[in-house]
Amino acid sequence: MKNHIKLLKVILSALFLAIAYVLPFLTGQIPEIGSMLCPMHLPVLLCGFLCGWPWGLAVGFIAPLFRSLTLGMPPLFPTAVCMAFEVAAYGAVAGLMHKLLPRKKPYIYCSLLIAMVAGRLVWGTAMYICMGISGGSFTFAAFLAGAVTNAIPGIIVQLVLVPVLVMVLDNPKIIDLRE
């Protein structure tokens, strides 16, 4: 049974990675807010919630780098590198919080909010370091713009969709990933 669960997690993680790869193509069709919807975040958060923190971390780290190296978008440095750390934090923290907290509706939102804050803080730290390495600067205003202001549509989508999908899919009758 344990091997079956591990195989299911590998398959689901590969599916979430594929969705993270393809979803920006769909949201990119809405030029005004396409990138503001943070399309890679959704499958990584779901991966963390459903498959666990190690899988969420791995998918989150790989997704932006894989897109950058194969498609050139997002640009590798500093964008994809910083996104890799950010999105890995989303997947890892979502999965860890979901494991530690009771599996009830309010705690799904709590786990999601903690993951969203942690990921944005990791992104800000990574941008600060990368910009410092490249001789640029990363101000607090730039952090607020990138992490909050420009991401408001994505934040709303995450707060609406992720908990609903987790409640539906994190059900032993649908997908039983509990070891």
Extents of the domains making up the chain: 2-169
| Structure tokens given for 9 | 């997690």
* Average pLDDT across the chain, whole number: 94
Q: Which residues contact 27 (CB under 8 A, 6 or more apart)?
A: 34, 35, 37, 39
Is the full-model pTM beyond 0.75?
yes
Instruction: Give the whole-angstrom CA distance, residue 13 versus residue 60.
Output: 10
The architecture of the domain spanning 2-169 is Orthogonal Bundle (1.10)
* pLDDT at residue 13 in the model: 98
Give yes or no for a contact between 17 and 62, defined as CB atoms under 8 angstroms apart. yes
**12-31 average pLDDT score:** 93
Instruction: Write out the two tokens for 12.
Output: 């689901």
**pLDDT-wise least confident of 15-24, 59-68, 169-178:** 169-178
Provide mean pLDDT across the span 113-123: 98
Query: Sign of the C-alpha dihedral, residues 12, 81, 95, 162?
Result: negative
Say whether pLDDT at 146 is over 80. yes
Candidate from 134-138, 148-152, 171-175 with smallest mean pLDDT? 171-175
Taking residues 46-60, what's their average pLDDT? Answer: 98
pLDDT for 172:
77
Residue 179 scores a pLDDT above 80: no
Distance (Å) of CA 1 to CA 27, 36, 116 = 38, 41, 33
